[in-house]
Amino acid sequence: MSTVSGNLLIVSAPSGAGKTTLVRALLERDPRVVYSVSCTTRAPRAGERDGVDYLFVSDTEFRRRIDAGEFLEHAEVHGHRYGTLRSWITAQLAADRDVVLDIDTQGAAQVRALMPEAVSIFILPPSLAELEARLRARGTDAEAVIERRLAAARAEIAHVSAYDYAIINKDLDAAIGDLVVVVQACRLRLARQLARHAGLLGEFR
C-alpha cells in the first residue's frame, strides 16, 4: 500500500486575476492546506512580511541557492527571481499536508515535470477588459507596467490547456467555493483513500 502524503497544488494566474485573494480565502477555510513561501529577489511591497509572504533575499543569495540545488523550481518574472524551496515542500507533503504553490506558468511547468502527480489550477479573469480594469484600479503601476502585465497575461493564459482545472474569477465567492471543492476532490482520489482507509476497505475484500 502506498504511503499517505499530501497534495501538491499548483495555482497560477495572470496578474490581476485575483489569485492571491483566492489562495488566502482557501487557507482561511481549510487548516489542512499550507502555503509555500517562495524566495524572491524583489523588494517587499507595502504590508508584506519577510518569512510570511515571501523570503526576501539578495540576487547573490538566490544564485547560491540555485547552485546548491535548493529549489524545486525557479523563474524570472518581471525582472525579479522567484523560487520554491524543495526541502520544505517535501517535509510538508510527508506530513500529509496539502501545499499550495502560488507560481507562474514557467515554474508550474518545472514542477509538473518533476512531480507529475501535482494538481494544477489556473485562475482566469472573466475577460481581458476586466483584467485591465483591475490592474488600473490598483493605482500603483505606471502605464508601461500595466501594458507589460497585460502582454504577460495573454502569454500566460495561452498555457491554460496544460492545467487540470480552470476557475473563472467573475464572482469572488463562487470562485472561492470552486477552489475549495477542487482541493476536497483531490483528497478523495482513489489512491489517497486506499492509503488512508486500508483497514476499512480491507473488510470488504
The phi, psi pair for 83, rounded to 5°, reads -155, 150
Q: Between the CA of residue 91 and those of 13, 20, 74, 86, what are the distances in Å?
A: 26, 24, 19, 9
3: pLDDT strictly greater than 80:
no
Q: How many domains does the chain have?
A: 1
Q: Convert the pLDDT of each residue in 166-205 to its tens digit.
A: 999 999 999 999 999 999 999 999 888 887 787 887 788 7
Domain presence at residue 183? yes
Domain presence at residue 51? no
Domain presence at residue 195? yes
pTM for the predicted model, two decimal places: 0.83
Name the amino acid, one letter, at 63. R
Q: State the residue range of the domain holding 189.
A: 8-36+98-202
Domain presence at residue 102? yes
pLDDT-derived band at 2 (thresholds 50, 70, 90) equals very low
Q: Convert the pLDDT of each residue in 51-63 to its tens digit.
A: 888 999 999 999 9
Grid cell for residue 120: 494544477
1: pLDDT strictly greater than 50:
no
CATH code (residue 165)? 3.40.50.300
Domain presence at residue 79? no
Domain presence at residue 177? yes
Residues 6+ apart with CB under 8 A from 56: 39, 40, 41, 42, 43, 44, 50
**Would you report the helix, strand and coil content of the chain in percent, each value rounded to 5?**
45, 20, 35
Helix residue ranges, H only, the chain: 19-29, 59-67, 86-94, 105-114, 128-138, 143-157, 172-187, 190-196, 198-202
Domain presence at residue 48? no
Measured between alpha carbons, how far is 86 from 94 in angstroms, rounded to an integer?
A: 12
* Mean pLDDT, rounded, for 30-37: 94
Q: Name residue 165's beta-bridge partners.
A: 121
Q: Convert the pLDDT of each residue in 153-169 to its tens digit.
A: 999 999 999 999 999 99
Domain presence at residue 134? yes
